[in-house]
Amino acid sequence: MPFGISLGELLERAGGVNGHLQALLVGGAAGALVGPEALGTRLSMEDMRAAGLPLGSGVVMVFNRTRDLGEPIRRIARFFAHESCGKCYPCQLGTQRQTEILERAAAGAALPGDRQRLLDVGWTMTDASLCGLGQTAASVTLSALKRWPELFPND
Amino acid sequence: MTETVHLTINRLTVETTRGATVLDAAGAIGIDIPTLCYDPRCAPNGLCRMCVVEATGARLLQAACVTRAVEGMTITTESPRITRARRTVLEMLAASTDLSETPDALAQIAETGADIARFAGGRERRPPVVADNPMFVRDYAKCILCWRCVQVCAEDAQYAFAINFDGRGFDTQIATFFGKPLPETTCVFCGQCVGVCPSGALKPLRAWELEHPDGPAA
């Protein structure tokens, strides 16, 4: 694909969406989840930056409305907990706590305050981790919290 | 000739020597930046991230213990963003390990208003006590993974290389190679690891026995 085509055109060229488009994961596991409103965004450094999205590895994963978005979010959280080397505290502890909070929410056992816990864990990892793994370990969760607040426990 | 650099910390101008860290420069003018893993006797690693500060031009928070002071740098050591990181790290740590004998952590919990029960109910690190030698006891349920013991056992002091990290992520633990008892390792029982442990995880056997009259230490 030529650099700079829009996300929407990319989907068209790939054969279009099966069913109704719900979300796109752009940039891979350390990327961000966005809704159909991002289809006009061009895959260029400038446009992605302006939209607050990472180009990341360049991967685009598409989810239609039959998918429970919580499932890929939890899978990515588990991936980071597994990949964390354990050196710096924010990532060593945060990847574990992020996974636990997401999993208990999925089990219908969310605790009051879990939404704020996810935000605090996520921003602490993003802001204070030693390397890029911890700094992006909450990227998908934080982007989804912003775009689909209804997916997450509320107080 | 020693080269000097000038930086601004919390609006105060500081002069320090090239090569000094932000933590050193702040300490020299009485600005106390909290630390947990840092020990001036050991090489700093920037693990606990309690010493994170804001540096103008830096996208993310910087660990003061490993950030070198450079000419013209502007540092802020207290802000809501910094407090959130410090408080959240303490809250997550308190839910993971036993901090009852880590006075620095307890003081910082009080200072930041961290809620130690906030992440309770998740996984905890509670490995059994290891008493495999006549010199000291290893209670890793109290370990905060500051790395000091591993460092003094290696290039920071003794060059014995008897202990290292086992596992990774949340399951990281200090261990001997293949989990062997200490007497079967290259440990020379110099005691330096016990001396630098900040959390009561490593204790002389006698101290342990006095605290635990019916304890498991053999």
Q: Is B99 at the interface with chain A, CB within 8 A?
A: no
- Expressed as residue numbers, the domain containing B150 is 136-211
Is A96 found in the same domain as A35?
Answer: no
pLDDT of residue A152: 85
Comparing alpha-carbon positions, the chain A residue that sits nearest to B67 is: A130
**Which element (helix H / strand E) includes A71?**
helix A70-83
Comparing alpha-carbon positions, the chain A residue that sits nearest to B36 is: A89
Q: Is B58 at the interface with chain A, CB within 8 A?
A: no
Q: Residue B40 is part of a domain; what is its CATH number?
A: 3.10.20.740
| Contact yes or no for B167/B216 (Cβ under 8 A) | no
- Expressed as residue numbers, the domain containing A46 is 7-64
Is A145 found in the same domain as A103?
Answer: yes
Is A80 found in the same domain as A131?
Answer: yes
Residue of A84, A100, A127 with shortest CB distance to B61: A127
Integer Cα distance of B87 and B111 in angstroms:
9
Instruction: Please check whether residue A2 lies inside any domain of the structure.
Output: no
Q: What is the pLDDT of residues B51-94, one digit of tens each?
A: 999 999 999 999 999 999 999 999 999 999 999 999 999 999 99
pLDDT of residue B4: 95
- Give the mean pLDDT of chain A: 95
Q: Is B20 at the interface with chain A, CB within 8 A?
A: no
Partners of B85 on chain A (C-beta within 8 Å) are 90, 123-124, 127-128
Is A141 found in the same domain as A98?
Answer: yes
Q: Is A119 at the interface with chain B, CB within 8 A?
A: no
Q: What is the pLDDT of residues A34-59, one digit of tens each?
A: 999 999 999 999 999 999 898 888 89
Of B65-69, B169-173, B203-207, B211-215, which gets the smallest average pLDDT? B211-215
Mean pLDDT in residue range B13-19: 95
Q: What is the pLDDT of residues B35-45, one digit of tens each?
A: 999 999 999 99
Is A97 found in the same domain as A49?
Answer: no
Is A86 found in the same domain as A45?
Answer: no
- The type of residue at B83 is T
Partners of B115 on chain A (C-beta within 8 Å) are none
pLDDT of residue A153: 76
Residue B218 has pLDDT above 70, yes or no: no
Instruction: Please check whether residue B188 lies inside any domain of the structure.
Output: yes
Instruction: Please check whether residue B176 lies inside any domain of the structure.
Output: yes
pLDDT of residue B2: 76
Mean pLDDT in residue range B188-207: 97
β pairing state of A60-64 and B4-9: unpaired
Task: Report the residue count for chain B.
Answer: 218
Is A90 found in the same domain as A46?
Answer: no
| Helix intervals (H) in chain B | 22-28, 80-94, 103-112, 148-153, 192-196, 205-211
pLDDT of residue A123: 98
Q: What is the number of domains present in chain B?
A: 2
pLDDT of residue A151: 87
Of the residues B78, B106, B123, the one at which a domain ends: B78
Comparing alpha-carbon positions, the chain B residue that sits nearest to A78 is: B169
Mean pLDDT in residue range A72-82: 98
Integer Cα distance of B9 and A119 in angstroms:
28
Residue of B119, B121, B168 with shortest CB distance to A86: B168
Instruction: Please check whether residue A1 lies inside any domain of the structure.
Output: no
Instruction: Please check whether residue B126 lies inside any domain of the structure.
Output: no
pLDDT of residue B1: 60
Question: Look-up: residue for tokens 């505290």?
Answer: A89
pLDDT of residue B160: 97
pLDDT of residue B217: 54
Which of A129-133's residues contact partners 24+ apart within 8 Å by CB, and which partners?
A: A129/A88, A129/A90, A129/A91, A129/A94, A129/B49, A130/A87, A130/A88, A130/A90, A130/A91, A130/B46, A130/B47, A130/B49, A130/B63, A131/A87, A131/A88, A131/A91, A132/A30, A133/A30, A133/A80, A133/A83, A133/A84, A133/A85, A133/A91
Residue A80 has pLDDT above 80, yes or no: yes
Is A119 found in the same domain as A54?
Answer: no
pLDDT tier for residue B130 given thresholds of 50, 70 and 90: very high
Comparing alpha-carbon positions, the chain A residue that sits nearest to B59 is: A127
Q: What is the pLDDT of residues B102-116, one digit of tens each?
A: 999 999 999 999 999
pLDDT of residue A58: 84
Instruction: Please check whether residue B121 lies inside any domain of the structure.
Output: no
Q: Is A107 at the interface with chain B, CB within 8 A?
A: no
Partners of B61 on chain A (C-beta within 8 Å) are 127-128
Of the residues B48, B78, B108, the one at which a domain ends: B78
Instruction: Please check whether residue B115 lies inside any domain of the structure.
Output: no
Is A21 found in the same domain as A60?
Answer: yes
pTM: 0.95
Q: Residue A137 is part of a domain; what is its CATH number?
A: 1.20.1440.230
Of the residues B47, B78, B109, the one at which a domain ends: B78
Is A134 found in the same domain as A86?
Answer: yes
- The type of residue at A151 is L
Tell me the nearest-neighbour CA distance from B208 into chain A, angstroms: 28
Partners of B52 on chain A (C-beta within 8 Å) are 127-128
Residue B23 has pLDDT above 70, yes or no: yes
| Contact yes or no for B197/B148 (Cβ under 8 A) | yes
Partners of A128 on chain B (C-beta within 8 Å) are 49, 52, 60-61, 85, 89
Paired tokens of A34: 């966005």
Mean pLDDT in residue range A61-67: 96
β pairing state of B12-17 and B4-9: antiparallel
How many Cβ pairs closer than 8 A exist between chain A and B? 96
Residue A155 has pLDDT above 80, yes or no: no
Tell me the nearest-neighbour CA distance from B56 into chain A, angstroms: 14
Is A74 found in the same domain as A28?
Answer: no
